Amino acid sequence: MKLFRIFTIAIAFLVAWHLFTLLTGIEFFILPPPAHVGTALINHSYDLAGHALTTFIEIMLGLIFGTGLGALCALVMMVFQSVRLWLLPVLVISQAVPVFALAPILVIWLGYGMASKIAMATLIIFFPVTATMFDGLRQTKQGFLDLANSMNASRSAILIHVRIPSALPSFASGLRVATAVAPIGAIVGEWVGSSEGLGFIMLHANARLQIDLMFAALLILAIMAVTLYFTIDQLLQKVIIQH
């Protein structure tokens, strides 16, 4: 039923798009009809697949590093109060700096290759994961902690067996947000400076007024982002028991 609904919405969107271009007579270099985008997709399928793979790798590695570092940072802040006192204000202040403004600097530091895009995706993912995981760790039910203490559990046992499992639903929320924003990080990184990826194709096609190709790349990116989000969401729903 869910798939049918998604399929119906997609068909309705394509029909509305086609009718809009037909009825308004809008220039194709401003908004190409869906059939033109489809043709561009087929004609450039090999190139698009290669660039899509690059962007996909950047997004996935960004997700892995961002999530890993975010979770680790939250754990360190939970365990060491002195670190928390110093790190928490730094983290909050760091969010005042727009991450996109850092993209050109990252390209200068890390080069035009994948590293700067992965760093960009990592940076954009890091904060939501850290904040939600830390919140989850801190807000473990007092009753659970009392019970564990009455059972003579050590601090490390409480962290491993009580606080971390308690924090998983919050961590999952952070990971969902991270999955939704990870493609933004990778694409912005590609826009600033790259020779590969869907962001590079979009910029390149835009400069040459190949708007159908630009839309084809955008379509692939949208499908990739939505598929990734729903896959992660389904996995999290299966693995993590909501409290």
Partner 1 sequence: MVILNSKSKEEDLVLTVRNLSYKDRVLFDELEFVLEKGKWTSLMGISGIGKTTILRLIAGLASEFSSGTSIVHSRKISGELAYMSQVDLLFPWLNVLDNVTLGARLRGEECSKDRALELLRSVGLYANAADMPSSLSVGMRQRVALARTLMEDRPFILMDEPFSSLDSLTKVRLQDLAAEMLQDKTVLLVTHDPLEAYRLSDSIYVLSGQPACLDSTIKPAGAPPRMIENSEVLQGQAELLARLSKAEAP
Contact positions vs partner 1 (CB under 8 A): 141, 143-144, 146-154, 157-158, 161-162, 165, 168, 241-243
Closest distance of CB 140 from partner 1, Å: 11
Query: Amino acid identity of 171?
Result: F
User: By C-beta, is 27 or 146 nearer to partner 1?
Assistant: 146
CB nearer to partner 1: give 82 or 152.
152
Nearest distance from C-beta of residue 171 to partner 1, angstroms: 13
Minimum distance, C-beta of residue 59 to partner 1, in the bound complex (Å)? 29
SS3 of the chain: the string is CHHHHHHHHHHHHHHHHHHHHHHHCCCCCCCCCHHHHHHHHHHCHHHHHHHHHHHHHHHHHHHHHHHHHHHHHHHHHHHCHHHHHHHHHHHHHHCCCCHHHHHHHHHHHHCCCHHHHHHHHHHHHHHHHHHHHHHHHHCCCHHHHHHHHHCCCCHHHHHHHHHHHHHHHHHHHHHHHHHHHHHHHHHHHHHHCCCCCHHHHHHHHHHCCCHHHHHHHHHHHHHHHHHHHHHHHHHHHHHCCCC
Shortest Cβ 185–partner 1 spacing (Å)? 31
Provide, rounded to whole angstroms, the least separation between the CB of residue 146 and partner 1.
5
The residue (of 64 and 158) whose beta carbon lies closer to partner 1 is 158
Question: Which residue, 51 or 163, has its beta carbon nearer to partner 1?
Answer: 163
Q: Which is nearer to partner 1, 167 or 217 (CB)?
A: 167
> Closest distance between partner 1 and the C-beta of residue 51, in Å?
41
Which residue's entry shows tokens 């609904």? 5
Nearer to partner 1, 110 or 158 (CB): 158
